[in-house]
């Protein structure tokens, strides 16, 4: 557990399109802080429009970390992020700078603050991907993958023990570490005091902002961005492209959706994603919720600035 005297790190979190980026940029400018992104898709290069990355100008003005650090076909786990983001925050602290963590990827935030404990790790999408690979290539081929990434688990498992093989691969893909690394239990929590603030809005207004953002992404060239990714050889099977916005455009390219249905499906799936984010964050009692319908953005901005200055 972090020491009570540890320095504070501000977390601005919440659902997609709620307004985290704009607020965090203003606060970072006032505090001369740097931003540590907690977005599991903004880590990938070339996924710019569909992930709503801060603009190049915004990133020149305020240094950002953990954006564009991997190619779309390179694996990056929540566990890797948690360890590397802690190191980055410690480095900034050693330089006399503060960090503001901004994003909506709940697992990334958990990995950064609490570490990852394997029994809590669950992702049906990852598990289904490996099930599909077993169906296509057979359990023997998938077991060979496990022997490379987690030889300790592979040695103790029977080559036909599908459920435990799937579990070991699920944990490895989530964390970048073999499940055997977690046998001693809970990882240490971060050596700083996390100040969690989550932004929220009236549901209808949040959904309207999501719809407007999707329309803006399409106007700004989302389809060209996906086409460019495909031309570079990046396919829909990649984890990076199993993302709302990209999957639907790929379905449109494959004539599985009409243009109008593509746009409506992106909006619907983004609303569902926002709902899942809210459900995840509401389980954490450490989070203080800030309703943008009840408080002005300027009031919230000043409140968060004061929360860091009051060391």
Q: What tens digit of pLDDT does each residue of 200-252 get?
A: 999 999 999 999 999 999 999 999 999 999 999 999 888 899 899 999 999 99
Longest dimension (CA), the chain: 59
| Residue ending a domain, choose from 143, 158, 182 | 182
Domain co-membership, 250 together with 291: yes
Asked if 169 and 259 touch (Cβ cutoff 8 Å), the reply is no
Are 112 and 224 part of one and the same domain? yes
- What pLDDT was estimated at residue 161? 87
Higher pLDDT residue, 75 or 16? Answer: 16
110 with 218, same domain: the answer is yes
34-86 confidence digits (pLDDT tens): 999 999 999 999 999 999 999 999 999 999 999 999 999 998 888 889 989 99
Tell whether 137 and 100 lie within a shared domain.
Answer: no
Residues 175 and 200 in one domain: no
pLDDT in tens, 255-293: 999 999 999 999 999 999 999 999 999 999 999 999 999
Does 2 reside within a domain? Answer: no
Q: Is residue 303 part of a domain?
A: yes
Domain region containing 223 = 8-116+187-309
Q: Using CA atoms, how far apart are residues 108 and 103, in angstroms rounded to an integer?
A: 9
What's 139's domain CATH number? 1.10.20.140
> What is the pLDDT confidence band of residue 99, given thresholds at 50, 70 and 90?
very high
Shared domain check, 173 and 127: yes
* Residue 2 confidence (pLDDT): 44
- What is each CA distance from 278 to 106, 121, 207, 226, in whole angstroms? 10, 18, 13, 28
Residue 23 pLDDT: 97
The per-residue pLDDT for 163 is 86
For 100-125, what is each residue's pLDDT tens digit?
999 999 989 999 998 875 555 677 77
Q: Using the 3D structure, point to which of 156, 182, 208 is the last residue of a domain.
A: 182
Same domain (yes/no): 100, 200: yes
Kindly state whether residues 205 and 283 are assigned to the same domain: yes
What pLDDT, on the 0 to 100 scale, is given for residue 185? 47
Number of domains in the chain: 2
Query: Which position has the higher pLDDT, 30 or 128?
Result: 30
> Does 111 lie in the same domain as 123?
no
Residue 256 and residue 196 share a domain: yes
Distance CA 182, CA 119 (A): 9
Integer Cα distance of 88 and 82 in angstroms: 10
Read off the pLDDT of residues 145-201 as tens digits, 9 standing for 90 and up.
999 888 988 888 889 889 889 988 988 887 777 876 665 545 667 889 999 999 999
Choose one of 137, 166, 182: the last residue of a domain: 182
């Amino acid at each position: 557990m972090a020491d009570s005297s540890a320095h504070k790190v501000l977390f601005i979190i919440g659902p997609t399109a709620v307004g985290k980026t704009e607020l965090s940029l203003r606060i970072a400018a006032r505090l001369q802080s740097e931003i540590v992104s907690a977005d599991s898709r903004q880590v990938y290069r070339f996924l710019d429009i569909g992930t709503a990355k801060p603009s190049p100008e915004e990133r020149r003005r305020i240094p950002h970390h953990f954006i564009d650090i991997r190619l779309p076909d390179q694996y990056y786990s929540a566990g890797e992020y948690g360890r590397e983001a802690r190191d980055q925050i410690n480095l900034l602290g050693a330089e006399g700078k503060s960090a503001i963590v901004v994003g909506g990827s709940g697992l990334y935030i958990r990995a950064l603050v609490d570490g990852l404990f394997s029994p809590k790790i669950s992702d049906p999408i990852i598990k289904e991907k490996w099930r599909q690979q077993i169906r296509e290539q057979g359990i023997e081929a998938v077991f060979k993958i496990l022997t490379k990434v987690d030889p300790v688990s592979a040695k103790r498992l029977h080559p036909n023990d599908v459920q435990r093989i799937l579990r070991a691969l699920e944990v490895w893909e989530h964390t970048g570490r073999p499940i055997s690394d977690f046998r001693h239990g809970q990882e240490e929590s971060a050596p700083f005091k996390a100040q969690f603030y989550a932004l929220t809005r009236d549901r209808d207004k949040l959904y309207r902002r999501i719809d407007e953002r999707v329309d803006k992404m399409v106007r700004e060239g989302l389809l060209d961005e996906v086409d460019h990714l495909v031309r570079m050889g990046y396919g829909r099977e990649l984890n990076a492209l199993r993302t709302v916005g990209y999957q639907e455009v790929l379905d449109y390219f494959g004539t599985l959706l009409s243009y109008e249905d593509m746009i409506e499906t992106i909006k619907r799936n983004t609303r569902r994603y926002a709902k899942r984010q809210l459900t995840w964050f509401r389980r954490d009692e450490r989070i203080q919720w800030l309703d943008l319908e009840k408080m002005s953005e300027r009031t919230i901005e000043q409140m968060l600035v004061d929360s860091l200055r009051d060391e």
